[in-house]
Amino acid sequence: MILVLSPAKALDYRTPPTLAEYSQPAFLEQSRILVDRLRCLSPAEIASLMKISDQLAVLNATRYAEWAEPFTPANAKQAVLAFNGDVYDGLDAASLSADDLHFAQARLRILSGLYGVLRPLDLMQPYRLEMGSRLVNERGRDLYAFWGDRITAAVDAAVRAAGASVLLNLASQEYFRALLPQQLSVPVVQPVFEDWSGGRFRVVSFFAKRARGLMARFVLVNRLTEVAALRDFDSDGYAYAGQPAGDGVLLFRRRR
């Protein structure tokens, strides 16, 4: 199987990488187009576009101004080691072995508003640009229009290269919208993580994000390739609860 994850807003460029090996993003020419567009925006316009504070807007304006090729370990970091949000807390990539990361390089793809698709070891310079941002560009009114079917084609190429039979969607709805499932050569499997809260089982965003990272780690460490093996996922107390909705949905529940 091939896994897709969302990126994270939080980044860690202070901790040294655990692996010297790296690769280059496939869509740097496209990223450069977006960076040139973003450089035209003032900090106030960035704050409005991304709905962030003035301080964060200035930080990201500086990032766009400093974004430069070539990407090297001196000015960039491997994507899976640079992202630092809830999903990546569950994944805990820094504790993965070199063999785990090599397996991830072939099987895991990170969807990105700026970089399109990243392999785990692709070098990445710091940025903030969510896929849902309504950044008007030469191809349309938002990033979905900008990327078109490029992301889908890249993910499907990974599916074919790995001989995978399924795409495991561990990304958020915002990022998965950048994929066109009807153009994929394999079906999509969608795990859903529910916690007992308020007298019922429901999706709790914080816990669900971390669970997606935990499942990604479970797949990578155990070298899973078949959907049936996902039923054994039991990290942090989650347990398989069936396929109530069909259509590739796998339900996992936890009572804390």
218-255: per-residue pLDDT in tens? Answer: 999 999 999 999 999 999 999 999 987 667 999 999 98
- pLDDT of res. 152: 98
Quote the pTM value. Answer: 0.97
67-122: per-residue pLDDT in tens? Answer: 999 999 999 999 999 999 999 999 999 999 999 999 999 999 999 999 999 999 99
Q: HEC states along the chain? A: CEEEECCCCCECCCCCCCCCCCECCCCHHHHHHHHHHHCCCCHHHHHHHHCCCHHHHHHHHHHHHHCCCCCCCCCCEEHHHHECCHHHHHHCHHHCCHHHHHHHHHHEEEEECCCEEECCCEEECCCCCCCCCCCCECCECCHHHHHCCHHHHHHHHHHHHHCCCCEEEECCHHHHCCCCHHHCCCCEEEEEEEEEECCEEECCHHHHHHHHHHHHHHHHHCCCCCHHHHHHCCHHHCEECCCCCCCCEEEEEECC
- pLDDT of res. 244: 78
136-166: per-residue pLDDT in tens? Answer: 999 999 999 999 999 999 999 999 999 999 9
120-134: per-residue pLDDT in tens? Answer: 999 999 999 999 999
- pLDDT of res. 256: 76
d(CA 256, CA 241): 15
